[in-house]
Amino acid sequence: MVSFLQIFIALAAVTVIFGVIWSLFGSLRTPIRCGPGIGICTVISVQGSAEGLEQTLKGLAFLQESGAMLGQILLVDVGLNEDGQILSRLILNKYAGVVVCKAEDVAEWIIASPKVPNTVSK
């Protein structure tokens, strides 16, 4: 009975220590926030067959869902081949909020982006 109690106290202590460390780690990983008139846009340029695109979008989607990253994800086509275009269309059906544009339209899209939160009107 004494051994069981000692094991239980040891496990409880480890759990508390782990919780404190996890909490400290979480406070160090500060989420990115936007101020008034500031928009964040993550630009991903893709070319060729766009290998690894799904893993990249999966990681960014995780960051958005967890609240660690806010903003728009912009997928820029800088020379996708036919396979890459098919793959990007299939992947984009899975991820809402991802916008696709051509390389020459990036500046125009960023300026006209409706995703700027808390815009200060003049």
3-41: pLDDT as tens digits:
888 899 999 999 999 988 887 776 666 666 666 777 778
Same domain, 18 and 65: no
**Domain range for 9:** 1-30
pLDDT exceeds 50 at position 117: no
Q: What pLDDT was estimated at residue 30?
A: 62
Is 118 inside any structural domain?
no
Q: How far apart are CA 22 and CA 30, in angstroms?
A: 13
Q: How far apart are CA 59 and CA 19, in angstroms?
A: 25
Same domain, 26 and 52: no
Same domain, 45 and 26: no
pLDDT digit string (tens) for 67-110?
A: 777 778 888 888 889 988 888 888 888 887 788 888 888 888 87
- Number of compact structural domains in the chain: 2
pLDDT exceeds 80 at position 121: no
Question: H/E element holding 38?
Answer: none
Same domain, 12 and 69: no
Using CB atoms within 10 A of its CB, is residue 46 exposed (0-12), middle (13-18) or buried (19+)?
buried
Distance, C-alpha 83 to centroid of its chain:
25
Q: What pLDDT was estimated at residue 16?
A: 94
Same domain, 16 and 59: no
Is 35 inside any structural domain?
no
Same domain, 52 and 79: yes
Is 4 inside any structural domain?
yes
Tokens of residue 56, six digits:
């990249």
Same domain, 26 and 48: no
Contact by Cβ (8 Å): 32, 70: yes
Indicate yes or no: pTM above 0.75.
no
Residue 30 backbone phi and psi in degrees, to 5 = -75, 130
